[in-house]
Structure 1
Amino acid sequence: MHLSSAPKMATGGMILPWYGHWTTEEDDCHRLINRTTELPATAYVSVVCVPFLVLFCTAGNIANFWILWRHCQPGAKQTFLLSLAVVDVLALWCAVPLYLNNNSEIFGIDYLEAPFLVYSYGFFFWLQYTLWNVSDWILVAFSLDRLNAFQFRAPSRVHEGHRRRALFMVCGFFLLAGTIGSGTLVGFYHWWNNRTKYYVQPEWVAKWTRIRQQIDIACPIMVTVFLFVINLWLFLHLRKQMKLGRKLMSATNSITAPSGNARSQRAAKQRRQNHLTRMLLGCVAVYFITQLPAVILNTLDHLSFAPYCLFHFTAKPVWEPIISTLALVNYSSNFAVYVGMSDVFRQAAEVLASRISRGRCWRSVEDGPADGLNEEVEGNEEDGSLIADSNTSRRRMSLRQSYGQDDAEEFS
């Protein structure tokens, strides 16, 4: 069975740390493994970039968490986005021990002095693999939730059941993804307990690994297709609604001229809808750009090993550091996408940066609004805004004063 001397995103066999003395001399296509090859120059791409990606992901998702927790309406939307922030941070930090293992030759790490790096390699690889899949599926679920809010006009009134259902979905994603990747986890520790220079991989581990490889190829393609179709449907629906709205406006204007306040409210609602749609389409674009090279690499790698052995994929050591680093960008760029696509999110980020500079990041809600952004901002599920502007909150408070708490919720 194939046991490579280098770690892989998807391999013809089992994932192992970088340690040539623990691997066989030939792969499962009976090709000799060349252990005298020098490290390619591209190996330093991950050495330089991964620490910056981890730090950027951590800082960006902490900001995402703060903004979403304080300014996003409780419900399925908030649960999905908060879960996405947490999952992405954990996935990037799982890359740290793998990063040390993969570049142990560059860093001069002696595994005899740091056995934890080797022993924990299988666990962190499985956990990162699981979290990557969970992150992808959360993005699909969030897109479906937005489509449901627009196309099928789900009630905008907040129900605890919506939040709980979203949380159960995230937990279900984790269990499913963990089960899919468990073959790697079991196979690694089977090797650990029976490791020799000429260790032979059991057939059941090899079969499980090949199934996982096929999932590695199919899953990103399916996620990309789902995201594209769902968000294209959402985009076309919004365009149709905006055209219909303009026709109704022109018909109404021919009878009665609308007030300036009504025009501004309709324009603000359209802007919020466009912001969230652009954010979702931006996430789809980032996912496609960063994951497509990994799909191609995994496909070529899968076909180069048993049972296919169609060719000898010698270019993989050159391209893998670049492609694996690019794949990490997808899980560290959410904050940049949100800020680049949403004016309201950008405003909240500016408020957060201002508070951090003055040491007042966790100011309580009771202290009142600050820096022009209402602290009790609540999103609107029906119009699809990620976080609502202060006009929404002021309108709701005015309704509560006039009609009471329960009646006001009907206008939200």
Structure 2
Amino acid sequence: MMPSRHHAPVILAGIQYRSDMGVRWFNFTVNESSSSGFGLDSCNRTISERENEGAEINLPARWVEIICYPIILAMCTTGNVLVLMVLQPSRPRTTADVYMMALAITDTLVMWLRMPMWIVLVSPDLPDIDLSFATHTTIYAGVYIWLSLALYTLSDGIILTFTIERILLTMNPLSSAGHISPKTAVKILLAIFAFGLLAFTAAGVDYFSRLAAGYDLTGWDHARPQWMAKWMTIQTDIVIALVFVAFLATPTANLILTACLVKGRLKRSRDLGGHASGERTLRSGTRIAFSCACLFTIFQSPGIIFLGLTIADKAPFCSVHFTADARFTLAQLVWLFASLYYSLNFYMYCMVSQRFRKQLCARCSVFSKLFSGLTESRINSISMEVRKASTDALIAGCDLLLNGRKDSHQEH
């Protein structure tokens, strides 16, 4: 039986990508207080064993991952390889290029790390048939937990760093704060990745210490050294905090960036005595950062909802009853959205960056043929419409707010 505190990193890794690991963990914990077919959870609610087993045999939801993973993996690998092919030889290289290449590598690793787990999902009897496969899978699971958490931290950190840089550049274009060099951007990303590796070392050390000692999960819960238990508790708190910080900070940074852009647009309108052109509102790098942050907010929202329901279901909150079937079904939705998030950056990049499209066509002639049916003006028109759509609503809202304030002042 897996202890709630010490194996939370496994759950939180699943919240973004391997959600059903968390479901299995909860199925163990709800039975820990009883050896019969019924038990009490941490909120003293009676949970039947049949309900716990229901999530494990929820085949329709499980087929979501079985079917969709190969398709999404192909989309992710193809798109991210193309990003690297186009941007790696490009000169001069911008910080946007560095961030997008780092995202391409990180997202591809996240998706491919899932492959052994997907094989077990498709063929659950394979570990029993092939003992060598079972041994390697057991060892790999510890590496997967540790490395996936570090990669999630890096992926979130890339988006947040990119957005903050564009905020600084937009607020004060003449300041050196927002004008960091590509080499500095690489150093920042390496520091974030190193932090992720060090911060989540406890998960790997605890996992392999249990294997080396020969304990099962129940035995290790009682035999785990006190210093290890404290270390795991601290790491669990760090993981939970990082999940919420990443989700709250990225949309907040995007709102600040939007506010800066709207403020600049209104200032130009006053200076020109009219309305500033919407095309001048966003620079290329700012459009990319804005779009990446929007993708993050949209596709990671189910994950934060899953985490919130999970916490609310346990003591001391006990405000909702998050059943095993509901957990498993929502976990598959979380997995689907998170996997799509790691696969769509290339397609978003093609849509918002004219420079990248030109580089892509120059690098891969097949895309020149693909776009041959469309004129360059038509492609630019479509791209411009997509770019404007992400800010027009907010700009209109700000305009209405300003007009409302003017009307209020006039009434007074």
Report the TM-score, using the length of structure 2 for normalisation: 0.68
Preserved CA contact (<8 Å) 2:72 2:340 = yes
* % identical equivalent positions: 19
Equivalence for 1:207 = 233
1:263-302 residue pairs with structure 2 within 5 A? Answer: 270=279, 273-302=282-311
1:10-409 residue pairs with structure 2 within 5 A? Answer: 26-27=31-32, 29=41, 36-37=53-54, 38-71=57-90, 73-105=92-124, 110=129, 112-114=131-133, 115-154=135-174, 162-193=181-212, 194-196=214-216, 198-201=218-221, 202=224, 203-204=229-230, 207-208=233-234, 210-215=236-241, 217-240=243-266, 242-243=268-269, 246-247=272-273, 270=279, 273-305=282-314, 311-314=321-324, 315-354=326-365
State the SS of the aligned residue for 1:232.
helix
* 1-structure distance, mates of 2:118, 2:322: 26
1:333: Cα distance to partner?
A: 0.8
Cα deviation code 1:115-147 (max 9, x no counterpart): 211211121222122112211111121122223
Preserved CA contact (<8 Å) 1:65 1:82 = yes
Equivalence for 2:407 = none
Equivalence for 2:38 = none
Preserved CA contact (<8 Å) 1:231 1:280 = no
1:103: Cα distance to partner?
A: 4.7
1:109: Cα distance to partner?
A: 6.8
1:110: Cα distance to partner?
A: 4.3
* 2-structure distance, mates of 1:11, 1:338: 27
State the SS of the aligned residue for 1:43.
helix
Preserved CA contact (<8 Å) 2:146 2:200 = yes
Q: Which amino acid aligns with 1:198?
A: T
Cα deviation code 1:38-61 (max 9, x no counterpart): 133111111111222222112111
1:218: Cα distance to partner?
A: 1.3
1:69–1:322 distance in 2 versus 1, CA, 3 Å: same
After the TM superposition, which of the residue ranges 131-140 and 32-41 deviates more from structure 2?
32-41
Q: Which amino acid aligns with 1:293?
A: P
Q: Which amino acid aligns with 1:135?
A: S
Preserved CA contact (<8 Å) 2:73 2:111 = yes
1:297–1:72 distance in 2 versus 1, CA, 3 Å: farther
* 2-structure distance, mates of 1:100, 1:3: 26
1:186–1:354 distance in 2 versus 1, CA, 3 Å: same
State the SS of the aligned residue for 1:291.
helix
1:85: Cα distance to partner?
A: 2.0
Q: CA RMSD in A?
A: 4.1
Identify unmatched segments of 5+ residues in structure 2: 34-40, 370-375, 377-412
1:237: Cα distance to partner?
A: 4.4
Structure with the higher fraction of residues in helix conformation? 2
Preserved CA contact (<8 Å) 1:61 1:335 = yes
* Aligned length, in residue pairs: 337
1:102: Cα distance to partner?
A: 4.7
Cα deviation code 1:25-83 (max 9, x no counterpart): 83474667656431331111111112222221121112212322344533433322322
* 2-structure distance, mates of 1:11, 1:49: 17
* 2-structure distance, mates of 1:128, 1:84: 14
After the TM superposition, which of the residue ranges 168-177 and 178-187 deviates more from structure 2?
178-187
State the SS of the aligned residue for 1:105.
coil
Identify unmatched segments of 5+ residues in structure 1: 251-266, 359-371, 373-412
* 1-structure distance, mates of 2:157, 2:188: 10
1:136–1:19 distance in 2 versus 1, CA, 3 Å: closer
* 1-structure distance, mates of 2:254, 2:345: 17
* 1-structure distance, mates of 2:108, 2:288: 19
* 2-structure distance, mates of 1:178, 1:125: 11
